[in-house]
């Protein structure tokens, strides 16, 4: 049995940067170790994305459970954690969603200090524009829901939007801009940094991050999970938490569970880098189009799903055409800019558009999934709640509604009123 | 853009069709109970690989067609009419 | 200034001179030039500053792999930031500015950042700027944002036009080098429909670099132009390979002229659906890492050859060529032939079959020698056997070998395989109907590439059903070379050796990333931003991977490359939108009466895909006054409204009644012929879906209306259940929304009005009571008449074939003239339905059940219908759920607001519900509203607070029945 590694930890600061630069940057240590699997852990989290790593971090830091492994079939953070549009916000309509995402947003606000890692959380505001009276009414209902829950929201009229975003088209014949609902505390964060920051922080507390370790089976004995079959051998586990966005149905099927989830494709795009043009995150109702500008200068934008079940991670042109049309129609300045790169992620789309953080019918097996395309902003909140649920074997009030049972009971959390059509959520 | 060989209209572009998910789930008998309807409306195999699914040729013959498509490669193997068996 | 321009040779029209401006300087070039070649010909050396260290940079390449020579092209609303000079075809009056420098290119103050180079190594921003937290948005981040980015975008709308063209072909060929031309010709002559795309403005690819091939190139193009089914698209870059052999491209139609001709497009978005694809995309030369490999004067050897042979330029005065393979010998030869003195070729290999030949042409060939640094006009050479010397040179040409351009093959699904002889990745077995040929497949030599292309073209034609034909044309001679390459990635010295010039990533950054655990290629890429710049990693992608492989102690084959994703080169967003922007973003649907509305003062409003009259504005009337006037007109006398946008579905067949019984929650089979009934349908999950009226026109013939918003969805829903769930039911259905216009005539005098207009139908209450349907004529045109009411008044709807809508509308207007008939719009209709307590989109919002809407009593107690089972789930059947209620302010003068929440106490953190619809009631004289309220029915008569924190508003409201006006429906029935 290999000797247990001493947790290594480089504290980051400007002084440390200075010191290392004098040494030619040769003194930096690995941000996380690459250990061999142990025979057994108290908790094994399947999925080394932001959610899985955050869960491991909070299991260790909040609940003192440090005999934890995160198993990941590839390298960490290359699933949806590394394929999103980096938006962070809590501007939801339904109270249970507002409470959960607001808690997550508060965690975001302290994440740099919590992790000693600059995740570049940038609260430049998130503005959802409305194009009709009925969309305005829905925005007012939503904004008031937020304010009642103590979340920041500001209603902007048409002139205020024009003043804030002088470059947008106010008068499209079918999508005039009547105003917008602004969440000033919304914004973006650097997606990869969140993964690396949680990995480093979890590693520091002794969590083993096992990359290139694919789960091939979930071993249960008399209704209770006992461990995982993996490509790096059997790993015993007291408890197992699944956090494998996109592949949730596949993992659950290994334990005989059939979930109300379909896997769908979502594309995103980034333009060539330009000098600052767009300050806040903007979301247009027209054709479902959202855009922000990264610190590096690229305009990051996306829209709706391609609209059919897919695990392919590559998108097709109908959505591209529609999205570019919507983009140029709403932000004419985009027309002469160039799109640099396109990518796609696999979304766990649920039947009401809301996620799961819950126990399952198998003792010791817990589920975090179904994030549709809202998973990135949930990263710290989901990790925190999932860690709580695993540690206490019961949900925290923040995630008490996020169960699979809600569909048996008729307690759907359907923000958009779309119903059980995952491809249209 | 997928190319779908509609059994009634021939090869047509994907944007003539609307999608409606898993075609292997069947509406239960009226008195089958909530669990059976839960399975019909909500529970999905969500396979990684071949998937039988409904598409509606709304901009063509307006038939619902059953398509066997690979969810990893997007390859389409068969396209059948609404009451034809897939395999 | 054309000191560097040779007198002859190349594809340059020296008879014409073009004037252009760079950073305000007036310069000259010729047709055939790119901006890069014209600047080189003008002796300009420094053209940009780098991203992070603001180091001076020159022109490095001659194509889309250019990392450094980026400009803001054009001015004003046509500004295009980050444009690669190497891809800009020169035109008269061109204006370009360098980027990312302040105040000027020569003197860039930001270059001080270079002094902190070691401190701002990869990932430095993750490790600092954390304290104090509030400084991030206020201080650090703005600083970073302003320092980052490259060019500046314009905020002005684009004056140019774009369009989309979707083509089908048998064989699509990407690239017009020797392989592409041969494939196109053989497939074309076999009879296949061929499209040949070339990103450049001249066809020929590598042929353009070899004057000896010019005759063959021209012959091939002439031959291709004679084949009717071969289409050659120049200036067309294929950017992505998608499913089912669909590829996307952008054709730069007018980027080589000052501005597009009138009515011409700037760029054309193209898609190609091909039976077979031949990828003849060539190869890109790769950089070697050494100290100073980014300095102005460093140029890829192939690019230098291009500037000499294609553009007739000597890109320097004294040159060193640094190579590890044979290809750069042509560059040294060309430079010497162009008259450069003392060309030195440093080859890391100890042997070269070409050395003797080159020495015969006065090139100083040094074998077993590396370049270990490039400083001001001096190249340091170091022999492997020891010994170092410095050679004076202002041009350093580099060749680290060639990488096949595998982006499209990789996107198509083909796996890449490692080719040890070439030390690079080549496309493996195809996953779709495609084949990579020529240099794109790792084949070197023009004759070899042409033969590979020919073979692929034959196969492609045959697969598409075309064999035989005249396939006899000459091919260039075989090169016969067996180019051996000695992989060399880095010459290790102190100082910055770059692997990604645009993002300023150095070899040391890659090693540091590995040291910190970012050892997977995707991690290293993301941590250092290596190969994420606008050259898409073409220049240094493999180089970075090689340095990572060395650091990991593993093979490059094992390390691999990051995923290739669209776009092969960046594409204008306006082009991809294909012209479907602004007013063409979404098609607009108009009713048959649209023109009449516009001529009569209607203020139109988008409603889903439709434009509908919001209200009709009389002179000097504000919106609300018009709405109140219209509603009052209806309630007091009679009004007329265009309701054509309602979805209309015609159902026929012996089982139509059974089918409808299963669709709606209420029973419809008992409806008598000539009668209508209101119906509500649920989704299968028990949530309310849509409502409308069902009219029985005959025993087996029904007409159903849907809401405007759900017209399409309800039709698909019905078709789904009819075709797939209950195929045994004999029912046919189709949409007749567009075929029938529909006109509502409402108000106490609507009966009298229609009595004046309708013939052949007895409209008396006894003969044609509430919820009747019948046929009659208006102005001799057969119409259907429905006695149904949304406003709650005595009301009718007249359905008329769309082409006669205007006649019927005007006839009714004339008939109602004596009663002061008033046309009314959506807003007045909404006002009256709120008075009446009818639900619309804000209540039927996909979150409410039949019970929530107070319609649970309509549910039939026996028999199947969609949504019956799941609507009984405990939480949906919970009586405390928010239910539809009416509200009115306690103080009658107060307005209400949609979206306000209802609370039992002030300052409560708990919402009991929300307001869905509000209006100013003309019957009651004050504001009224509809709301969803917990325990709604039990709350009747209670007072609650309507709170809008967004507006800082609180109003006390009284809860009532939603039927504010005429709850017994006396008016509608009388």
pLDDT in tens, A13-31: 888 888 888 888 888 999 9
Q: Are residues A336 and A205 both part of a single domain?
A: no
Residue in B2, B34, B44 nearest the CB of A316: B2
Picking from C116, C130, C846, the nearest residue to A419 by CB comes out as: C846
Q: Does A420 contact C847 at a Cβ distance shorter than 8 Å?
A: no
Both structure tokens of C126: 């993750």
**Residue A287's pLDDT band (boundaries 50, 70, 90)?**
confident
Chain B CB within 8 Å of residue C716 CB:
yes
Q: In chain C, which among 220-259 make CB contacts under 8 A with chain B?
A: 242-244, 246
Dihedral pair phi/psi, residue C823, rounded to 5°? -70, 135
pLDDT in tens, C251-298: 999 999 999 999 999 999 999 999 999 999 999 999 999 999 999 999
Confidence at A7, pLDDT banded by 50, 70, 90: very low
Cα separations (Å) of A210 from A242, A307, C743, C867? 15, 34, 69, 47
CA triplet C179, C182, C183: central angle to 5 degrees?
80
CATH assignment of C163-283+405-463, among 3.50.50.60, 3.40.50.300, 3.30.750.24, 1.20.59.10: 3.50.50.60
For chain A, the straight-line distance linking the first and the last C-alpha, in angstroms and rounded, comes to 49
- Residue among C725, C734, C870 whose CB faces B41 most closely: C870
Domain assignment present for residue A91? The answer is: no
pLDDT of residue C103: 66
C522-552 pLDDT, tens digit per residue, is: 999 999 999 999 999 999 999 999 999 999 9
* Residues C724, B82: C-beta atoms closer than 8 Å: yes
Q: How confident is the model at residue A3 (pLDDT cuts 50, 70, 90)?
A: very low
Q: Is C654 exposed, middle or buried (0-12, 13-18, 19+ CB in 10 A)?
A: exposed
Confidence of residue C482 (pLDDT cuts 50, 70, 90): low
Is A320 in contact with C565 (CB distance < 8 Å)?
A: no
Instruction: Classify domain B3-80 by CATH architecture.
Output: 2-Layer Sandwich (3.30)
Put simply, the answer to whether B46 touches A247 (Cβ < 8 Å) is no
CB atoms within 10 A of CB C7: 7
Q: What is the mean pLDDT of residues C484-509?
A: 93
Q: Which of B15, B21, B73 sits opposite A423 (nearest CB)?
A: B21
CA dihedral C770, C773, C777, C778 (to 10 degrees): 50
Dump pLDDT digits (tens) for A322-335. Answer: 999 999 999 999 99
Max Cα distance, chain C (Å) = 116
- Residue ranges per domain, chain B? 3-80
Indicate whether A90 belongs to any domain.
no
* Of C361, C357, C410, C702, residue with least CA distance to C541: C410
Q: Is C610 or A285 the better-scoring residue by pLDDT? A: C610
Are C877 and A410 contacting, i.e. CB atoms less than 8 angstroms apart? yes
Q: Residue A79: give its domain's CATH number.
A: 3.50.50.60
CA atoms of C779 and C804, how far apart (whole Å): 10
The phi and psi torsions of C665 (rounded to 5 degrees) equal -75, -20
Angle between helices C507-515 and C541-552 (to 10 degrees): 40
Same-domain status, A345 and A393 = no
Window 292-351 of A: residues touching B by CB (8 A cutoff) are 307-312, 316-318, 351
Chain C partners within 8 Å of B33 (Cβ): 869
C639 token code pair:
């009004």
Residue-wise pLDDT tens digits, A83-100? 999 999 999 999 999 999
Chains that touch A (3 or more CB pairs under 8 A): B, C
* Distance, CA of B64 to CA of B80 (rounded, Å): 9
Q: What is the pLDDT of residues C80-97, one digit of tens each?
A: 999 999 999 999 999 999
Is A107 part of any domain?
no
CATH class given for the domain over C489-554 = mainly alpha
Lowest mean pLDDT among A215-224, C472-481, C502-511: C472-481
Whether domain C879-973 has CATH 3.30.360.10: the reply is no
- Nearest by CB to C719, from B34, B40, B62: name it: B62
Residue ending a domain, among A323, A350, A377, is: A350
pLDDT value for A373: 87
pLDDT digits (tens, 9 = 90+) for C866-896: 999 999 999 999 999 999 999 999 998 899 9
- pLDDT computed for residue A9 by the predictor: 60
Range of the domain at A408: 32-83+192-259+352-424
Cross-chain Cβ contact B37/C870 below 8 Å: yes
The average confidence (pLDDT) of chain B is 95
Res C469: pLDDT: 59
Could you read off the pLDDT of C445-469 as tens digits, one per residue?
Answer: 999 999 999 999 999 999 999 986 5
The number of distinct structural domains making up chain A is 2
Q: Which two tokens stand for residue C857?
A: 């009593």
Per-residue model confidence as pLDDT tens digits over A120-151: 999 999 999 999 999 999 999 999 999 999 99
How far apart, in Å, are the Cα atoms of C733 and each of A176, C643, C717, C772, C774? 36, 21, 11, 22, 20
C720 inside 8 A of chain B by CB: yes
Distance CA A328, CA A335 (A): 6
Measure A246 CA to nearest chain B CA, in Å: 10
Angstrom distance (rounded) from CA C7 to CA C41: 11
Q: Are residues A406 and A267 in the same domain?
A: no
Identical fold, C163-283+405-463 and C288-399: yes
Which run of H or of E encompasses C826? helix C826-836
pLDDT at C76 exceeding the cut of 50: yes
Tell me if the domain spanning C2-120 has CATH number 2.40.10.340. Answer: no
- State residue A4's pLDDT score: 43
| Average model confidence (pLDDT) across chain A | 95
Measured in whole angstroms, how far is the alpha carbon of residue A63 from the centre of its chain? 22
Distance (Å, rounded) from C-alpha A140 to C-alpha C736? Answer: 37
Q: What is the mean pLDDT of residues B5-30?
A: 96
Among C283, C195, C313, which Cα is nearest to C246's? Answer: C195
**Cβ of B72 under 8 Å from any chain A Cβ?**
yes
Interatomic CA distance for residues A197 and A213, integer angstroms: 21
Q: What percent of chain C stands above pLDDT 70?
A: 97
Nearest CA to A290 among A317, A343, A263, A330?
A: A330
The interface residues of chain A toward chain C in range 29-88, judged by CB-CB distance below 8 A, are 29-34, 74-75, 77-78, 82
Judged against a pLDDT cut of 80, whether residue C112 lies above it is answered with no
Which has the higher per-residue pLDDT, C198 or A18? Answer: C198
Residues A285 and A298 placed together within one structural domain of the fold: yes
Q: Which residues on chain B are in Cβ contact (under 8 Å) with A263?
A: 46, 48, 71
**Inter-chain touch B3–C244, beta carbons under 8 Å:** yes
Cα separation, C339 vs C336, whole angstroms: 5
pLDDT at residue C538, rounded to an integer? 93
- Which residues share a beta bridge with C21? C26, C95
The arithmetic mean of pLDDT across residues B63-75, rounded, is 97
Residue A5 has pLDDT above 50, yes or no: no
Instruction: Pick the last residue of a domain from A350, A383, A415.
Output: A350
- A259 forms beta bridges with B44
Report whether A63 contacts A112 (CB < 8 A): no
Q: Could you give the percent of chain C with pLDDT greater than 90?
A: 87
With b for 16 or more beta-carbon neighbours within 10 A and e for fewer, the C573-602 pattern comes to bbbbbbbbbbeebbeebbbbbbebbeeeeb
Report yes or no: A106 and A309 within 8 Å, Cβ to Cβ.
no
Question: Which of B20, B34, B56 shows the shortest C-beta gap to C870?
Answer: B34
Which one, of C412, C407, C411, lies nearest residue C425 by Cα?
C407
C-beta separation of A120 from C141 below 8 A? yes
Q: For residue C105, name the pLDDT band (cuts at 50, 70, 90).
A: confident
Instruction: Show the tokens assigned to A180.
Output: 């917008």
Fold of C647-735: Alpha-Beta Plaits (3.30.70)
Residue of A332, A336, A410 with shortest CB distance to C874: A410
- A362-378 burial: b if 16+ Cβ within 10 Å, else e: bebbbbbbbbbbbbbbb
What CATH class does C288-399 carry?
alpha beta
Mean pLDDT value across residues C337-360: 93
Q: Tell me if B30 and C864 make a contact (CB, 8 A cut-off).
A: yes
Hey, where are the domains in chain C?
2-120, 163-283+405-463, 288-399, 489-554, 595-645+739-832, 647-735, 879-973
Q: Cis link prior to C132 (omega < 30° from 0)?
A: yes
Q: Please give, rounded to a whole number of angstroms, the shortest distance from the CA of A140 to a CA of chain C.
A: 5
For residue C7, the model assigns a pLDDT of 62
**pLDDT, position C852:** 97
Whether A164 and A270 share a structural domain: yes
pLDDT band at C483 (very low <50, low <70, confident <90, very high): low
Interval C581-618: pLDDT, tens: 999 999 999 999 999 999 999 999 999 899 999 999 87
Q: Indicate the average pLDDT of chain C.
A: 94
- C143-168 residue pLDDT tens: 888 888 888 999 899 999 999 999 99
Counted across chains A and B, CB pairs separated by less than 8 A come out at 70
The reply to whether residue C684 touches residue B18, judged by beta carbons under 8 angstroms, is no
C3 falls in which pLDDT band (50, 70, 90)? Answer: very low
What digits encode the pLDDT tens for the residues C798-833?
Answer: 999 999 999 999 999 999 999 999 999 999 999 999
> Residue C886 and residue C853: Cα distance in Å, rounded?
11
C contact chains, 3+ CB pairs < 8 A: A, B
> How many Cβ pairs closer than 8 A exist between chain B and C?
59
Nearest to C57 by CA among C392, C405, C535: C535
Separate counts of helices (H) and strands (E) for chain C? 24, 49
**CATH number of the domain where residue A173 is located:** 3.30.9.10
């Amino acid at each position: 049995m290999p000797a247990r590694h001493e947790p290594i930890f480089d504290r980051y600061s400007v002084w440390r940067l200075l010191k290392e630069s004098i040494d030619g940057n040769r003194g930096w240590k690995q941000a996380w170790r690459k250990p061999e699997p142990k025979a057994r852990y108290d908790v094994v989290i399947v999925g080394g994305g932001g959610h899985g790593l955050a869960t491991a971090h909070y299991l260790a830091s909040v609940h003192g459970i440090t005999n934890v492994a995160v198993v990941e079939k590839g390298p960490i953070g290359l699933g949806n954690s590394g394929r999103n549009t980096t938006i962070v916000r809590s501007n939801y309509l339904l109270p249970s969603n507002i409470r959960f995402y607001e808690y997550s947003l508060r965690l975001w606000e302290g994440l740099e200090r919590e992790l000693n890692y600059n995740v570049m959380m940038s609260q430049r505001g998130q503005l959802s524009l409305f194009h009709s009276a009925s969309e305005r009414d829905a925005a007012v209902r939503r904004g008031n829901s937020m304010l009642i829950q103590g979340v920041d929201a500001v209603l902007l009229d048409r002139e205020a939007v024009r003043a804030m975003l002088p470059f947008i088209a106010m008068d499209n014949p079918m999508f005039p801009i009547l105003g917008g609902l602004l969440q000033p505390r919304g914004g973006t964060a650097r997606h990869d940094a969140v993964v690396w920051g949680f990995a480093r922080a979890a590693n520091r507390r002794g969590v083993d991050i096992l990359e290139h370790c694919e789960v091939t089976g979930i071993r249960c004995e008399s209704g209770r999970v006992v461990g995982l079959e993996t490509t790096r051998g059997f790993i015993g586990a007291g408890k197992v938490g699944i956090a494998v966005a996109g592949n949730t149905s596949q993992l659950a099927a290994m334990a005989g569970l059939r979930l109300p989830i379909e896997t769908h494709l979502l594309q995103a795009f980034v333009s060539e880098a330009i000098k600052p043009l767009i300050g806040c995150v903007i979301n247009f109702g027209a054709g479902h189009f959202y855009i922000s500008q990264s610190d590096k200068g690229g305009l990051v934008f996306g829209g709706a799903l391609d609209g059919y079940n897919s695990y392919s991670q590559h998108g097709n042109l109908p959505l591209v055409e529609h999205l570019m049309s919507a983009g140029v129609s709403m932000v004419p300045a985009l027309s002469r800019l160039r799109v640099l790169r396109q990518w796609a992620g696999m979304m766990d789309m649920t039947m009401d558009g809301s996620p799961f953080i819950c126990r399952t019918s198998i003792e010791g097996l817990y589920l975090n999934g179904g994030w549709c395309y809202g998973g990135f902003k949930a990263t710290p909140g989901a990790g925190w709640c999932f860690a709580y649920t695993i540690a206490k074997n019961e949900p925290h009030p923040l995630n008490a509604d996020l169960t699979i049972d809600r569909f048996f009971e008729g307690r759907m959390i359907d923000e958009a009123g779309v119903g059980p059509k995952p491809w249209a959520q | 853009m997928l190319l779908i060989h509609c059994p009634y209209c021939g090869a047509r572009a994907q944007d003539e069709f609307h999608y409606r998910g898993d075609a292997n789930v069947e509406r239960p008998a009226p008195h089958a109970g909530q669990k059976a309807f839960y399975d019909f409306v909500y529970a999905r195999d969500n396979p990684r690989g071949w998937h039988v699914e409904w598409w509606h040729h709304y901009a063509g013959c307006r038939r619902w067609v059953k398509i066997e498509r690979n969810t990893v490669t997007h390859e389409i193997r068969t396209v059948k009419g609404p009451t034809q068996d897939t395999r | 200034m054309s000191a560097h321009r040779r007198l002859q040779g190349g594809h340059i029209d020296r008879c014409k001179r073009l004037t252009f401006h760079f950073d305000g300087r007036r310069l000259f070039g010729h047709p055939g030039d790119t901006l890069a070649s014209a600047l080189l010909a003008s002796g300009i050396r420094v053209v940009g500053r780098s991203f992070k260290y603001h180091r001076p940079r020159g022109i490095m390449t001659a194509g889309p792999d250019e990392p450094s020579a980026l400009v803001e092209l054009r001015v004003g609303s046509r500004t295009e930031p980050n444009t690669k000079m190497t891809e800009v075809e020169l035109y008269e009056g061109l204006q370009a500015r360098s980027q990312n420098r302040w105040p000027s290119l020569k003197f860039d103050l930001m270059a001080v950042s270079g002094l902190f180079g070691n401190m701002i190594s990869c990932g430095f921003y993750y490790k600092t700027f954390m304290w104090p937290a509030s400084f991030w948005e206020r201080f650090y981040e703005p600083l970073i944002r302003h320092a980052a980015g490259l060019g500046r975008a314009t905020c002005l709308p684009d004056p140019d036009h774009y369009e989309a063209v979707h083509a089908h072909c048998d064989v699509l060929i990407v690239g017009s080098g020797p392989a592409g031309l041969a494939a196109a010709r053989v497939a074309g002559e076999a009879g296949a429909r061929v499209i040949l795309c070339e990103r450049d403005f001249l066809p020929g690819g590598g042929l353009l670099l070899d004057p000896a091939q010019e005759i063959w190139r021209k012959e091939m193009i002439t031959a291709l132009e004679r084949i009717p089914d071969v289409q050659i698209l120049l200036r067309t870059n294929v950017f992505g390979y998608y499913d089912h052999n669909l590829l996307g491209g952008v054709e730069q139609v007018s980027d080589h002229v000052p501005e597009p001709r009138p009515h011409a497009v700037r760029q054309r978005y193209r898609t190609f659906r091909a039976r077979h694809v031949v990828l003849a995309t060539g190869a890109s030369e790769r950089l070697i890492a050494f100290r100073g490999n980014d300095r102005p004067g460093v140029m890829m050897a192939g690019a230098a050859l291009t500037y000499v042979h294609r553009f007739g330029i000597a890109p320097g005065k004294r040159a060193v060529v640094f190579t590890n393979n044979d290809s750069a010998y042509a560059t040294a030869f060309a430079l010497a032939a162009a008259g450069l003195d003392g060309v030195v070729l440093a080859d890391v290999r100890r042997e070269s079959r070409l050395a003797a030949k080159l020495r015969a042409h006065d090139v100083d060939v040094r074998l077993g020698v590396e370049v270990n640094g490039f400083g001001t006009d001096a190249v340091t050479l170091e022999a492997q056997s020891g010994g170092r010397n410095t050679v004076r040179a202002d041009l350093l040409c580099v060749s680290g070998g060639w990488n096949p351009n595998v982006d499209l093959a990789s996107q198509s699904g083909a796996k890449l395989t490692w080719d040890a002889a070439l030390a690079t990745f080549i496309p493996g077995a195809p996953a779709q109907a495609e084949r990579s040929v020529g240099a794109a497949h790792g084949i070197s030599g023009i004759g070899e590439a042409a033969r590979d292309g020919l073979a692929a073209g034959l196969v492609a034609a045959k697969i598409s059903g075309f064999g035989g034909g005249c396939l006899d044309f000459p091919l260039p001679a075989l090169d016969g070379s067996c180019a051996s390459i000695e992989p060399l990635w880095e010459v290790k010295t102190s100082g910055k050796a770059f692997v990604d010039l645009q993002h300023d990533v150095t070899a040391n950054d890659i090693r540091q990333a590995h040291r910190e655990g970012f050892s997977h290629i995707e991690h290293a890429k993301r941590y250092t931003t290596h190969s994420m710049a606008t050259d898409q990693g073409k220049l240094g992608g493999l180089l970075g991977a090689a340095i990572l492989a060395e650091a990991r102690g593993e093979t490059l084959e094992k390390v691999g490359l990051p995923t290739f994703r669209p776009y092969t080169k960046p594409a204008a967003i306006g082009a991809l939108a294909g012209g479907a922007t602004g007013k063409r973003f979404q098609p607009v649907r108009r009713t048959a009466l649209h023109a009449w509305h516009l001529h009569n003062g209607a203020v139109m409003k988008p409603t889903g895909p439709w434009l509908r009259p919001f209200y009709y504005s009389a002179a000097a009337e504000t919106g609300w006054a018009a709405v109140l006037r219209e509603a009052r007109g209806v309630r007091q006398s009679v009004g007329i409204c265009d309701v054509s946008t309602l979805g209309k579905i015609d159902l026929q067949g012996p089982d139509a009644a059974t089918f409808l019984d299963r669709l709606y929650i209420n029973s419809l089979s008992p409806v008598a012929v000539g009668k209508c009934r209101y119906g509500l349908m649920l989704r299968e999950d028990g949530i309310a879906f849509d409502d409308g009226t069902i009219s029985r026109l005959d025993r087996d013939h029904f007409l159903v209306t849907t809401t405007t918003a759900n017209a399409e969805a309800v039709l698909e829903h019905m078709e789904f259940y009819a075709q797939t769930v209950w195929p045994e039911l004999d029912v046919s259905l189709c949409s007749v929304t567009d075929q029938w216009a529909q006109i509502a005539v409402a108000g106490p005098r609507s009966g009298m009005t229609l009595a004046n207009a309708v013939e052949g139908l007895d409209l008396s209450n006894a003969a044609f009571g509430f919820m009747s349907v019948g046929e009659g004529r208006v102005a001799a045109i057969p119409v259907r008449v429905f006695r149904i009411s949304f406003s709650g008044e005595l009301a009718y709807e007249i359905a008329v074939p769309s082409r006669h809508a205007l006649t019927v509308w005007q006839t009714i207007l004339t008939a109602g003239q004596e009663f002061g008939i008033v046309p009314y719009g959506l807003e007045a209709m909404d006002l009256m339905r709120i008075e009446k307590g009818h639900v619309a989109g804000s209540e039927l919002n996909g979150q409410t059940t039949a019970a929530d809407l107070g319609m649970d009593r309509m549910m039939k107690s026996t028999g199947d219908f969609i949504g019956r089972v799941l609507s009984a789930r405990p939480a949906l059947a919970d009586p405390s759920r928010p239910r539809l209620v009416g509200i009115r302010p306690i103080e009658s003068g107060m307005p209400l607001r949609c979206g306000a929440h209802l609370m039992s106490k002030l300052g409560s953190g708990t919402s009991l519900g929300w307001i869905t619809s509000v209006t100013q009631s003309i019957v009651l004289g004050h504001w009224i509203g509809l709301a969803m309220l917990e325990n709604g029915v039990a709350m009747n008569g209670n007072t609650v607070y309507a709170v809008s924190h967004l507006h800082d508003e609180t109003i006390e409201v009284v809860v009532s029945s939603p039927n504010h006006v005429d709850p017994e429906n006396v008016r509608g029935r009388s």
